[in-house]
Each structure stands twice: as C-alpha cells, then as structure tokens.
Structure 1
C-alpha cells in the first residue's frame, strides 16, 4: 500500500481542460492569432506563462491576465469528475500538485470548497521549476514526509507522467481525463474510473 496519493488537478479532479483551451483560443483570437483547440492541447499540464512563451507571445503578463479573466466565470462552477472526491476522501495522506498558479487556484479550485481533502497543495507559484520537472512533486513528498518509493502520482498528461518518473514516483493514468493510453506506456497503472484507485489500498505495491 502506498503511504501517499498525490493528484494532478486539471483533467484529473476537475473537468477544466476545455474551459482553459477555449479561453486561450479566444484570447489569442483577439490578438489576431488563429489556433485550433487541437493545436493548443500542448498547453494542458504546464503553467500558462510557459504556454505563452511557446506561442511566442510578446506581452505575456497582459495576455495571461486576459486568459485568466476569460476563464474566471466558468471556473467558478467547473465540474468535478465522477466519484473523484468520494475516492480521495477514503485515501491516506493526499496531496495535490498542479501547474495552476496561486491566482488561478483562487479563481476556481478554492471556490469549490474541496481543499480540505488535501494534506498538502503545491501549485506553480510554490516552485521555481514546473512539470515535467520533478521539483513540484518532490516538494509535495517533502511536505507529506513521504519517500518517493512510497507514493503514487495520478494525472492525465504526459507532463504528469514525466514529472513522476523524474521524481522516482509511480504513476497512475487518469483515463477519464486523458481519454487515451497512447504515449503512456510507462504508466504503472491505468485507472478507467476514479474508483479503480481504491484497489491500491488493499493490494501490495508493484515491485
């Protein structure tokens, strides 16, 4: 059994990815940049600032603010994936590692009133480096007083997988968010539903 269960947020706990992509698309359109949602999917799992750097946006801070403002009204009522909070409530030592900034978290996550389910929360504002770099996950392990071998990170993106592997942590794919197993061959577990995670609480850790 694992000592700690650490989760990604977007696409794993909250069904927010389409909200973020549509807001980004609308923000770019105002700047005369036309991008399809498929072209913007690379942004899922990395901080907004990094996304805008990849897109070669000159005024990153202003654009980021506009993007966030477009997300705000929708993030207040962002849906939770079925069963995820019920599952989290049954797990020991639960952590959250997300690429959202503290400001983004205040506009959505904390309004959902589910933060009390997590023993520690690490966002993009807490570390200098971000996923897929292992630094955020390593900070969560430190705060949870847990060794890498005794933790599992559950997420839906390649960045989550790479972050976990770089930190020496097992990885569980949230298939309800990723919707594909392609590219996740190194995942230690494939969870089709949130309730599949509970199977790890009464089985020995894979060696």
Structure 2
C-alpha cells in the first residue's frame, strides 16, 4: 500500500513505558487498597484509558487515585525511554514526506507530562488524546477523529500499535493496522494487516 499517513500509538509503540505504568499502578493500588498485586495481574491496563482501568479495579475516589497514579508515574519515569530505533525512523519518515500523527489513550495532561519531555512532538501534526474523541480505544472514534481532522483517505492511513485495542480502533474505522511486535507482549488473537518485528520494518511497506 502507498501510505501517506502513519499514525502511532504511544505506550509500547513509540515509548517503552511498560515498567513505569505497571510499577506506578501497583504502588497506587497498594496505597489506596492495601493490596500488593503481582504485576502480571495488572497488564490489562496497558493500552486503555486510565479512568477505565480504575473503574475496572473499583478504585475510589477515582480522581484522587488518577492523580496519585500520575504522581507515581513521575517517580518511576527513570524506567521509561523511546524504543531504540524510533528517533531515526521518525526522522526518515519525515524526510520521505510522510504525515505522522498520534492516537493515545493518555489524557492531554498525561501526554504533556510524560511524553513531551522526550522531544519528539514536532514530528506529529495531529495528536489525538483521550479527551479529543467521544469514544476511546478499542472504539474507532479516535481514528475517525484523525480522519476528520486530516481529510486523509482511509486506504492511505496506517495505524501502528502494540495491542488488540489499537487493532480494533484502526480496523473499526476502516484503516489498516500494523502490530508493533517490538512492544507487544501478547500478539495472540490480534489480526493485523502487517506485523513489524522492529521499527525499521515500517520502510518495507
């Protein structure tokens, strides 16, 4: 396919943030609920909005828990980094004239606090955060919002992510999906149009 737009998920795709998210989530639950959950039991939170995660865990008061989670995420931010090849890939895609965007389940506030410091925002013309569409992944609403903002044709857009939520969001909007195997822990049951072993594989498309 001749893709002219490549849209990225953030966590597990651009950013290796798994340990940061899970450790901060674990600590917040311990403080509020007094229970130390094994990290494996908390992996479901990766790729879905924080508020949805807290509701699933029946954490209250929700807003206080969300704020605390964000504070602990800053505490564990030393474990977070861009995947190794991502900076060079973004630079080359820009040189190739590809328009790039982001669709993330993070709120705008979370994105600015956690992602912006890595200095890659200038590569992306449109950044769709949790509050920018009426529905959240796996709902197609964020991708439909991207299509609305850009006027891009569906068959010219590729969404790259690491979870089944990303896949359903893209395909539900009629957009091709590429699975970022470099960040995906559970590829079983995900049916992408493309499977990419590393970020450089984007250029094979």
**What's the TM-score once normalised by structure 2's chain length?**
0.92
For residues 203 and 64 of structure 2, the distance between their equivalents in structure 1, rounded to whole angstroms, comes to 43
Aligned residues: 199
1:50 correspondence with 2:52? yes
Aligned to 2:31: 30
Q: List aligned pairs for 1:109-128, cutoff 5 A.
A: 109-128=115-134
For residues 62 and 137 of structure 2, the distance between their equivalents in structure 1, rounded to whole angstroms, comes to 19
Structure 1 residue runs without a partner (length 5+): 201-207
For residues 136 and 65 of structure 2, the distance between their equivalents in structure 1, rounded to whole angstroms, comes to 20
RMSD: 1.4
For residues 144 and 76 of structure 1, the distance between their equivalents in structure 2, rounded to whole angstroms, comes to 35
1:165 correspondence with 2:166? no
Offset at 1:50?
A: 0.5
Offset at 1:58?
A: 2.2
CA contact (8 A) 2:108 2:130 kept: yes
Q: Give the ranges of 4+ consecutive aligned residues of structure 1 lying more than 6 Å apart after TM superposition.
A: none
Offset at 1:180?
A: 4.3
CA contact (8 A) 1:77 1:112 kept: no
Q: 1:77 to 1:42 in 2, by over 3 A?
A: closer
State which of 102, 107, 130 in structure 2 corresponds to 1:101. 107
For residues 134 and 35 of structure 1, the distance between their equivalents in structure 2, rounded to whole angstroms, comes to 31
State which of 29, 40, 43 in structure 1 corresponds to 2:42. 40
1:190 is paired with a residue whose SS is strand
For residues 146 and 2 of structure 1, the distance between their equivalents in structure 2, rounded to whole angstroms, comes to 10
CA contact (8 A) 1:4 1:150 kept: yes
Q: Deviations over 1:88-146 (max 9, x none)?
A: 22220101000010111121111111100111111112122110011111111222221
CA contact (8 A) 1:22 1:37 kept: yes
Offset at 1:176?
A: 0.6
For residues 81 and 114 of structure 2, the distance between their equivalents in structure 1, rounded to whole angstroms, comes to 11
Aligned to 1:195: 200
For residues 144 and 77 of structure 1, the distance between their equivalents in structure 2, rounded to whole angstroms, comes to 34
CA contact (8 A) 2:82 2:118 kept: no
Structure 2 residue runs without a partner (length 5+): none
Q: 1:58 to 1:180 in 2, by over 3 A?
A: closer
Aligned to 2:20: 19
For residues 129 and 33 of structure 1, the distance between their equivalents in structure 2, rounded to whole angstroms, comes to 31
Q: List aligned pairs for 1:76-155, cutoff 5 A.
A: 78-91=80-93, 92-155=98-161
Offset at 1:40?
A: 0.8
Offset at 1:177?
A: 0.3
